[in-house]
Chain A
Amino acid sequence: GEDVEQSLFLSVREGDSSVINCTYTDSSSTYLYWYKQEPGAGLQLLTYIFSNMDMKQDQRLTVLLNKKDKHLSLRIADTQTGDSAIYFCAETRDPGGADGLTFGKGTHLIIQP
């Protein structure tokens, strides 16, 4: 299976909360990131969490990490039309390891008016 898995699509109403989920397979994954990609644009770093944390909050964004289930989620409060984008979950493993970021396929967030 894939190293990092995400649902392809998520549709939410404007003003509601969006929860984008991600699962990873490697228990040695120690650094987990969320990136946002708008149409025709590059990847914007949204937030990240290290494996010694369970939760991280940054304004409208909340990241939850469940190490036991290898599950990561990104919650966007009060979802706006400008949040419409593809959201990528990415992992890295040991800092001394020789690999770059491993990305999921991305979740398309669709905002309904």
Chain B
Amino acid sequence: DSGVTQTPKHLITATGQRVTLRCSPRSGDLSVYWYQQSLDQGLQFLIQYYNGEERAKGNILERFSAQQFPDLHSELNLSSLELGDSALYFCASSVGQRRDQPQHFGDGTRLSIL
């Protein structure tokens, strides 16, 4: 158990809809990262937050947004969903914002778009 909690585990919805994925980092970790894992693209970094502030952006679509709340949990919002958004979405957390601090991953949320 990594200590990173993601909910829900599975999400099934339709094209055009909006969903919110939730992540609680490990106790004491200030950084939260979001990744997308799909068969064609592999694992891709989406975005990072540190202590409530956006710290780094990767291949995140404009239809996607995230935030980190004062209690350090984070939410990833996906809107105007398309079939290609079907993927496993991972959250990871680390102690700080430095890249030499290992990231610990949750079990992911599997999103299926019908």
* Mask: chain B, 91-103; 1 = CB below 8 Å from A; 0 = not: 0100000111011
Contact of B43 with A88 in the complex, beta carbons under 8 Å? yes
Flag whether B55 is at the interface (Cβ < 8 A).
Answer: yes
Flag whether B48 is at the interface (Cβ < 8 A).
Answer: yes
Contact of A42 with B90 in the complex, beta carbons under 8 Å? yes
Contact-residue bracket for chain B: 20 to 34
What number of A-B contacts does a CB cutoff of 8 Å give? 66
Interface residues of B in 75-114 (CB under 8 A from A): 90, 92, 98-100, 102-108
B25 to chain A, nearest CB (A): 13
* Mask: chain A, 78-113; 1 = CB below 8 Å from B; 0 = not: 000000000010101111011111111110000000
Chain A residues near B (Cβ < 8 Å): 30-31, 33, 35, 41-45, 48, 50, 88, 90, 92-95, 97-106
Per CB-CB distance, the 10 closest pairs between chain A and chain B, nearest first, are: A100-B45, A92-B99, A43-B105, A42-B107, A103-B43, A98-B56, A95-B98, A95-B99, A42-B105, A105-B42
